[in-house]
């Protein structure tokens, strides 16, 4: 297949979007953003200073005082237009995401559809969850009702693996609820963040409702924003280590938070499973998006009766996966998002080998014709992995499959619940409804899949997470309305 055309070979010098305007400061420091398939520069990005931080906060705060007064129906109209713009520019957004992140074009198109679904979900929340409750004649001549009111300005921190999807998991809901935002994206995907704001500009939102800054690796600037009294909380998707620090900071400041962290996810394959389908689920779960999915898995627990047969099928299919640039529609797996990410994955493999695991499919140093400088690691399958190993407990965030034989479903559930501090997701491949029901009920994770490799809930469900995978008062997606709205009760007597 022909390689699709890039939106631009280079996106120039990226600045900030504050108070409805794009602006640049020639004296600011910059960092370079690269296409991970080519290791070539695609943008230079300005790093915010104290001036830009203050402008973003004051603009968002002043905008909130007006945005909260915008009639309900008018906010719904803005969201409806936002949905239309995303649909119109679906392919452009997808191709930019491939250039900046590295995923395949089919994965990128799926991501933009998830963004549209979040916008639709935010619109549905506006029409349903926002309306409050009312009880007439609660007591003699007394009525009581509850209102939902917008909270204020929020900091939104998006990660390097899902820059657009993470934006959509918070921002449309904040806008629906009458809040304003300051978005600070990962320094590894600034072009993707910039493009989202350029698309949103077509909607004509009032100045200051959405603001974009880049902090590079000056993470203390995010703390400066959160510590400001005009900022009411944070929505975050990223590592549990950083998230836990943010959660503690929010606790000390009395701020609201939705902190979504790491996972150590599992796919369980029982002896009654359709093994060909199971292989496809594992390919998607372990190697999809080059292993950088929040809901992706590292540990694959296979019942001993079918372990050997499953292993052979998995190795055969994994070897055939085509690596390459995501704008080639025949590519099945793209590069890691960054050189640092690639190095972390290689270090994870080295750690596993030092612990005694055996690499039965080695995806290191693959030859990808035309993209020799890209950050590629092919599918890697490890055997002789035991549950006491570090690699069985911590997330690889790369295309790695730890094969672990199990005796039965009870053992699998025990590993999922007790062998890791995380509680993000788990999947089961089976033909038994009884086993599926037991798995759903007993697994202490927030997202369960049955006969699936990625237990991705639709946008009008929250992304569930437990244990060290989540901190805060509300999950992302539709549940984030609880982050952005606060309750007020009114008790009144007129007689």
| β pairing state of 358-361 and 466-467 | unpaired
Q: How far is it, in rounded angstroms, from Cα 159 to Cα 226?
A: 17
Rounded CA separation 47/49 (Å)? 7
Is residue 478 within 8 Å of residue 125, measured between CB atoms?
yes
Q: Which of 151, 135, 416 is nearest to 265 (CA)?
A: 416
Calpha distance 170→224 (Å, rounded): 20
Catalytic residue among 115, 286, 294, 427: 294
| Dihedral angle, C-alpha 310, 316, 320, 321, nearest 10 ° | 20
- Say if residues 158 and 183 touch (Cβ distance below 8 Å): yes
Helices marked H in 47-104 — which ranges? 50-67, 72-88, 90-101
Q: What is the DSSP letter of 446?
A: S
Which distant-in-sequence residues (6+ apart) come within 8 Å of 384 by Cβ?
A: 356, 357, 358
State which H helix or E strand residue 227 sits in.
helix 220-227
* Angle between helix 240-253 and 220-227 (nearest 10): 30
> What would the DSSP string read from start to end of 130-180?
GG-EEEEEEETTEEEEEEEEE--EEEEEE-SSSHHHHHHHHHHHHHHHT-E
294 is catalytic: yes
Other beta carbons within 10 angstroms of residue 238's beta carbon come to: 20
Catalytic positions, please? 294
């Amino acid at each position: 297949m022909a390689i699709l055309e890039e939106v631009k070979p280079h996106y120039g010098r990226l600045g900030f979007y504050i108070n409805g305007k794009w602006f640049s400061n020639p004296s600011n420091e910059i960092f370079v953003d690269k296409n991970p398939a080519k290791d070539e520069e695609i943008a230079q990005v300005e790093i915010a200073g104290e001036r830009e931080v203050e402008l973003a906060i004051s603009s968002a705060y002043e905008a909130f005082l007006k945005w909260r007064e915008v009639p309900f129906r008018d906010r719904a109209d803005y969201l409806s237009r936002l949905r239309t713009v995303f649909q119109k520019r679906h392919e452009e957004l997808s191709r930019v995401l491939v250039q900046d992140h590295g995923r395949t074009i089919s994965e990128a198109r799926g991501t933009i559809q998830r963004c549209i679904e979040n916008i639709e979900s935010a619109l549905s929340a506006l029409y349903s969850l926002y309306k409050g409750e009312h009880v007439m004649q609660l007591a003699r001549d007394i009525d009581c009702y509850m209102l939902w009111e917008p909270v204020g300005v929020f900091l939104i921190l998006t990660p390097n693996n899902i820059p657009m999807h993470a934006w959509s998991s918070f921002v449309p809901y904040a806008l629906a609820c009458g809040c304003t935002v300051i978005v600070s994206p990962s320094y590894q995907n600034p072009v993707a963040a910039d493009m989202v704001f350029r698309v949103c500009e077509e909607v004509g939102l009032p100045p200051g409702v959405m603001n974009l800054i880049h902090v590079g690796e000056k993470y203390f600037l995010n703390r400066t924003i959160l510590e400001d009294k005009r900022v009411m909380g944070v929505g975050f998707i990223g590592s549990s280590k950083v998230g836990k620090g943010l959660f503690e900071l929010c606790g000390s400041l009395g701020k609201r938070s939705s902190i979504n962290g790491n996972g150590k996810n599992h796919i369980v394959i029982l002896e009654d499973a359709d093994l060909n389908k199971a292989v496809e689920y594992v390919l998607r779960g372990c190697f999809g998006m080059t292993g950088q999915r929040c809901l992706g898995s590292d540990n694959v627990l296979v019942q001993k009766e079918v372990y050997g047969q499953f292993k052979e099928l998995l190795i055969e299919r994994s070897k055939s996966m085509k690596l390459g640039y995501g704008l080639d529609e025949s590519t099945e797996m793209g590069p890691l998002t960054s050189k640092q990410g690639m190095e972390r994955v290689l270090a994870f493999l080295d750690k596993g080998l030092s612990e005694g695991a055996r690499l039965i499919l080695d995806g290191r140093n693959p030859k990808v014709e035309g993209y020799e400088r890209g950050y590629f690691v092919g599918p890697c399958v490890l055997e002789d992995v035991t549950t006491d190993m570090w690699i069985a407990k911590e997330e690889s965030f790369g295309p790695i499959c730890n094969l672990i034989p199990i005796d039965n479903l009870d053992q699998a559930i025990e590993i999922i619940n007790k062998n890791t501090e995380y509680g993000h997701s788990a999947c089961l491949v089976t033909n038994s409804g009884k086993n599926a029901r037991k798995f759903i009920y007993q697994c202490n994770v927030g997202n369960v899949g049955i006969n699936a490799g990625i237990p991705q809930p639709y946008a009008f469900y929250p992304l569930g997470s437990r244990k060290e995978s989540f901190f805060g008062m509300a999950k992302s997606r539709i549940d984030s309305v609880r982050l952005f709205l606060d309750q007020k009760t009114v008790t009144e007597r007129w007689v």
